């Protein structure tokens, strides 16, 4: 059992936190650039959000309120473990499940449904930081391609997708150009979340612990998914075969990102992936039964 009192505030030592903060400043100064840093060993397996956690631990102070989500849910095992770790190692820090109350939101696979504010920071956990890895194995060559803004091979890959499937089939990790230069892997968020990177009021930090990279989408910065004029970027639309949009089976809303669940009877059903948003919609419905979802 980890005894929080035996550790420095935020688990990392002050030198490590300072280094991460310096790297964050550089990442903000060069939007979308994968900034290397000395990723520390954390007492959990890599691939469980150690990159995001190091960002959070370096930024968090006693006046902060933290929310941790995994696939939009606060109660999944990974999110619970990370939140518990912060509670143990950062005495005095509050945690919340309410998006609007959080000052730092650490997330895996989703951006919260409500628009975030300037005083909030979104930390995204990243498994694979480099979008060019699918077309070029050598990191040395990838760095040159990024530096020169040469994404022609990535565009060719997208084009091949269109030729083969008549659409771009990437569902997650959609390559997105930041501030007109660097293309990032925005972490495994769905396409639905990609437009929310564009000119967002809040700072977005992305941390890849295993790959030792930090990058950023600063507030009010352009974030444009790679696409073609005649084959524009599309988000998931959740419509049925008759063109009607599916509704959340719990709150009934038709304007959120939905997870598909199979009922015990084998039926396809849909539910908001953002559980805090779903709770809010449900509460609104109880208060104003006729006006909900209007």
Minimal distance in Å, beta carbon 258 to Zn ion?
Answer: 8
Please enumerate in sequence order all residues whose Cβ is within 8 A of that of 68, keeping only pairs 6 or more positions apart, or say none: 74, 79, 80, 82, 83, 86, 95, 105, 106, 107
- The three-state secondary structure class of 273 is coil
266: annotated active-site residue: no
Strand partners, 95: 66
Minimal distance in Å, beta carbon 268 to Zn ion?
Answer: 16
Strand partners, 117: none
| Burial classification of residue 134, based on how many CB atoms lie within 10 Å of its CB (0-12 exposed, 13-18 middle, 19 or more buried) | middle
251: annotated active-site residue: yes
Q: Residue 156 is encoded by which pair of tokens?
A: 């060719």
Residue 250 contacts Zn ion per CB under 5 A: yes
For 289, left (φ over 0), alpha (ψ -120 to 50), or beta? alpha
Residue 57 contacts Zn ion per CB under 5 A: no
Binder of Zn ion out of 53, 183, 248, 258 (CB under 5 A): 248
The span from the CA of 151 to the CA of 128, in Å, is 17
278: annotated active-site residue: yes
Residue 247 contacts Zn ion per CB under 5 A: no
Residue 26 contacts Zn ion per CB under 5 A: no
Give the footprint of Zn ion on residues 93-152 (CB under 5 A): none
Smaller CB distance to Zn ion: residue 60 or 111?
Answer: 111
Smaller CB distance to Zn ion: residue 141 or 288?
Answer: 288
Strand partners, 268: 262
The span from the CA of 21 to the CA of 35, in Å, is 12
- Contact (Cβ atoms closer than 8 angstroms) between residue 293 and residue 281: yes
Name the one range near Zn ion by CB under 5 A: 16-24, 75-83, 249-257, 284-292. 249-257
The span from the CA of 2 to the CA of 210, in Å, is 22
Minimal distance in Å, beta carbon 198 to Zn ion?
Answer: 25
Radius of gyration for the chain, computed over Cα atoms and rounded to the nearest angstrom: 20
- Contact (Cβ atoms closer than 8 angstroms) between residue 129 and residue 139: no
Minimal distance in Å, beta carbon 20 to Zn ion?
Answer: 36
Active-site annotation holder among 51, 52, 248, 253: 248
Residue 246 contacts Zn ion per CB under 5 A: no
What is the longest distance spanned by two Cα atoms in the chain? 60
Smaller CB distance to Zn ion: residue 119 or 290?
Answer: 290
Minimal distance in Å, beta carbon 83 to Zn ion?
Answer: 22
Residue 285 contacts Zn ion per CB under 5 A: no
Name the one range near Zn ion by CB under 5 A: 1-9, 72-80, 94-102, 248-256. 248-256
Active-site annotation holder among 49, 207, 251, 253: 251
Binder of Zn ion out of 102, 145, 197, 278 (CB under 5 A): 278
Residue 272 contacts Zn ion per CB under 5 A: yes
Residue 194 contacts Zn ion per CB under 5 A: no
Contacts with Zn ion, residue ranges (CB under 5 A): 248, 250-251, 272, 278
**Active-site residue list:** 32, 248, 251, 272, 278
């Amino acid at each position: 059992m980890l005894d929080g009192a035996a550790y420095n505030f935020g688990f990392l030592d002050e030198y490590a936190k300072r280094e991460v903060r310096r790297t964050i400043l550089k990442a903000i100064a060069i939007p979308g650039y994968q900034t290397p840093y000395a990723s520390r060993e954390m007492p959990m397996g890599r691939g469980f959000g150690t990159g995001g956690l190091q960002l959070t631990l370096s930024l968090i102070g006693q006046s902060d309120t933290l929310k941790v989500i995994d696939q939009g849910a606060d109660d999944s095992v990974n999110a619970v473990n990370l939140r518990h770790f912060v509670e143990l190692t950062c005495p005095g820090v509050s945690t919340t499940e309410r998006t609007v109350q959080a000052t730092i939101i650490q997330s895996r696979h989703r951006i919260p449904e409500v628009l975030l504010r300037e005083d909030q920071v979104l930390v995204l956990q990243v498994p694979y930081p480099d979008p060019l890895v699918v077309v070029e194995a050598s990191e040395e060559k990838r760095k040159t391609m990024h530096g020169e803004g040469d994404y022609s091979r990535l565009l060719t890959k997208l084009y091949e997708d269109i030729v083969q499937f008549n659409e771009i089939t990437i569902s997650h990790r959609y390559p997105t150009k930041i501030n007109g230069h660097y293309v990032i892997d925005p972490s495994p968020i769905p396409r639905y979340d990609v437009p929310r990177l564009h000119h967002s009021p809040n700072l977005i930090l992305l941390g890849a612990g295993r790959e030792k990279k930090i990058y950023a989408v600063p507030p009010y910065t352009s974030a444009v998914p790679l696409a073609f004029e005649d084959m524009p970027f599309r988000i998931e639309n959740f419509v049925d075969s008759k063109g009607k949009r599916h509704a959340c089976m719990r709150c009934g809303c038709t304007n959120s990102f939905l997870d598909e669940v199979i009922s015990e009877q084998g039926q396809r059903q849909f539910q908001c992936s953002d559980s805090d948003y779903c709770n809010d919609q449900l509460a609104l419905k109880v208060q104003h039964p006729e006006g909900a979802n209007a």
